[in-house]
Amino acid sequence: MRQLVFQKGSEMVVIKVENTIVTFAKAQGQYMRFSTIDGLKLNLSGILKEFPDLVELSPEEARIEAIKRFKAKVGELNEDKAIEEYIVNDLKPHGYILLARMRPGFRPEKIKH
């Protein structure tokens, strides 16, 4: 299991990767409630930035298709480190900055920019 800590503006996001299961949480003090991608609100402009071919679909159809494609991509990678790199590269253009990586049994690795 790996955890990634991102920052976007004043928002802190923690993403947990365990096998092919990816969960997301907003850090609010010490409280974190993880959810799969199905439970997230996805921004339509962010979806269209990543998948421009979905412009013809309704916002809900585009969201469902984007989630399906994300799950398929994660399933193809099938390795924590590869999934981690995919997530980091996927979120970077949307303004998320990777602050730290955490692995069980190791100290958190702070990322220098």
Tens of pLDDT, residues 74-99: 999 978 889 999 999 989 988 999 99
pLDDT at 56: 95
Alpha-carbon gap, residue 50 to 64, rounded angstroms: 14
pLDDT at 1: 87
The pair of structure tokens assigned to 47 is: 């979806």
- Phi/psi of residue 65, nearest 5 degrees: -65, -40
pLDDT at 38: 94
Stated pTM of the model: 0.88
- Phi/psi of residue 60, nearest 5 degrees: -70, -40
Residues of the chain with pLDDT under 70: none
Instruction: Please state the three-class secondary structure of 28-77 as a single string.
Output: ECCECCCEEHHHCCCCHHHHHHHCHHHCCCCHHHHHHHHHHHHHHHHHHH
